[in-house]
Amino acid sequence: MRLQFISAVYTLIIAFISYVITITFAGWFESLIAKKMGDDVPEQMGFLTLNPLEHFNVFGFAALLWGEFYSQVLPFQLIPGWGRFIPLVPDNIHGRYYKLRIFTEYVSRSGAHFIILLCSATSLMILCGAEHVYRLQPIISGPVTSFDVVLISLLSFIIKQNIILFVIHFVIGMLKYLMYFHMPRLQDISIMMMIYSFIALVIGLTIFSPLLEYLVLYTTESIRSLLLMFMK
C-alpha cells in the first residue's frame, strides 16, 4: 500500500511538472506568434507571459491525471492536458501575405509542442546516450543515479504528451484556417457546427496522425544520427 502511494505521488509530481512546462511555453509561444502576425488580443488578455498561473487550466490538468490514474477504464491510453483557451482574432491581421500569417497563427500552438518535443527528445538522447534511445524510447544500461531516473521519466512523459498535442493542435489549426476562409458560417456557435467540427476533427486526426507521427520520428531520428556522429 505504501509503495502504491509513493508511486502515485511520483506520477503526480512528474505529471505536474510536465504539464506546467508544456502549457506555459505553448501558451506563451502562441501569444507571441499571434502578436508577430498582427493579432495582439492574446497579449491584451495577459497570455504573453511565462507565468504558469496565467496558463493553468484546472480541468485540463484534472483530465491529464484522470488519464494517468484511470487509463484502464478508458477506451484510450492517454489524455493530454490542456491549458487555458487563448482567443485568436485573425480579423486583426492585414497587409501582405495575410493568409500565410493567419495560417501561421492558427498552427503556432502545434509548433510550440513540436519545439518542446524536439528539445525533450534531444535532452533524453544526451542524457541516456543517443545509441540507447530508439524511436523515442530510452533503454537504460549501466549504473544511473536516482536523479537520472527522475529526469528520464520526466522527459519521457513530456515527449509522450507533446506528440499527441502536436498532432491534435495541428489538425485543429488546419480546420480553423479552412473554416475561416472557406466555411465562415460554421464559425457561428450551433449544434450543427459542433457536429460538423467533431466529424472533421476525427477525419483530420485519422488522416494526419500517421503523417505527423512519421514527421516526429524522422526528425528525432535525424537528431539521433547527428548526435551519434558528433559522439564518435
Domain spans in the chain, listed from the N-terminal domain onward: 2-231
Whether residue 41 is predicted with pLDDT greater than 90 in this model: the reply is: yes
pLDDT in tens, 113-164: 999 998 998 888 888 876 667 666 777 666 778 888 888 889 989 988 898 8
pTM value is 0.84
**What string of DSSP letters covers the chain?**
-HHHHHHHHHHHHHHHHHHHHHHHHHHHHHHHHHHHHT--HHHHTT-SS--GGGT--HHHHHHHHHHHHSGGGSSSS------------GGG--STTHHHHHHHHHHHHHHHHHHHHHHHHHHHHHHH-GGGEETTEE---S---HHHHHHHHHHHHHHHHHHHHHHHHHHHHHHHHHHHHH-GGGGS--HHHHHHHHHHHHHHHHHHHHHHHHHHHHHHHHHHHHHHHHH-
What percent of the chain lies above the pLDDT cut of 70? Answer: 79
Q: So what's the pLDDT on residue 4?
A: 78
**Kind of pairing between the strands at 133-134 and 137-138:** antiparallel
pLDDT digits (tens, 9 = 90+) for 13-32: 999 999 999 999 999 999 99
Q: Which of 71-75, 91-95, 170-174 has the lowest mean pLDDT?
A: 71-75
- Mean pLDDT, all residues of the chain: 82
- pLDDT at residue 73, as a whole number: 61
